[in-house]
Amino acid sequence: MNKFELVCKEFNIPCEKIYENGLRTRVNFALYKDNGKISYAMFKDKCKITDFDTSFICDEIRDFMPKLLENLDEALKDKLFEIRFFKSFYTLNVLLLYHKDIKEFKIGNYYKKLSKLTKLKLNIIMQSRKQRIAYPNDILEHFSNGIKYEFNDECFIQPSLLMNEKMLEFAISCAKVKPNADLLELYCGYGNFTLALAPYFKKVFATELSKKNVEFLNTNCKINNTNNIYTARLKDSEVKDAFNKVRAFNRLKHINLDDFCFSHILIDPPRCGLGECVELVKNYDNIIYISCNPLTAKIDLEKLCKTHELKRFVLFDQFINSEHLECGFYLERM
């Protein structure tokens, strides 16, 4: 069985749709060096291989890859051990990782030549232990569903922003099923789902632990003149404690949770799943659950389906060229 069949058989509802072939817009490569020659490498069975298919990568990154290596001089190659590419609607970020001191490096001296190798706006970032240099900056500018986003490579970014469009469409379609009041979102990141769903709710309360992500979400709200999103930097267990009034949070002093009337919750947890926060999620009538790990999602759903009915199940091939899959679920209270 292929990876789609393996995942589908784990759930007691037919898969509504499988979205395949999401070309990667975020990809990392190790490097292989031999007699002064440098090549991109991937790992297979814990060994580096340099002969691999690149058809899973979006055209803009795939076209830029050989041009970049051809234009790296000895100073840029020295102690370089990994290259990461991030492509958005407008921007291409190239992150060069080093095992050396880079604080005196003048990456701007190389920018003019390298920027001519792509039609996208190019950002070059050099990084080593506790050091980071970006030229001209590290901001990825993206446009989707009439929304402009800004984020950087330190945020969580879906491996395929092309497939991400299908994920947003799914979440929006779930939000339209029942009459909406307010939305609670956990693990909101830089606002990928938050801004897309905001027009369908009166108010949105979005939480995220990462300070950098929350800063970008607040910036994105300003860029798009979105005024119904309220944010707080809280981890999932803290959100649970806040709603249960276990303790007061200074980070919530600008928000009165009693002012919200939540009809929906959207969750996009890490690979470990919801854990104890599944009890918080059960409190809401309509659940939109995005998962990057079908195994932990199955464990969470077994608990959620004691109070809710699983109405929809879709698969997104975010991790093309791997065994991983992204899932989308929609549940309604029974």
Catalytic residues, by residue number, are 292, 326
Burial of residue 143, with CB atoms counted within 10 A of its CB: 0-12 exposed, 13-18 middle, 19 or more buried: exposed
Q: Please, what is the end-to-end C-alpha distance for the chain in angstroms?
A: 33
Helix (H, G, I), strand (E, B) or coil at 11: coil
Kindly report the backbone phi and psi dihedral angles of residue 100, in degrees, each rounded to the nearest multiple of 5, phi listed first: -165, 165
Asked whether 295 and 276 are in contact (CB, 8 A), the reply is no
Asked whether 13 and 310 are in contact (CB, 8 A), the reply is yes
Instruction: Select from 134, 112, 34 the least CA-distant residue to 77.
Output: 34
Residue 183 corresponds to which tokens in the numbers above?
């939305």
Would you tell me how many other CB atoms lie within 10 Å of the CB of residue 243?
Answer: 14
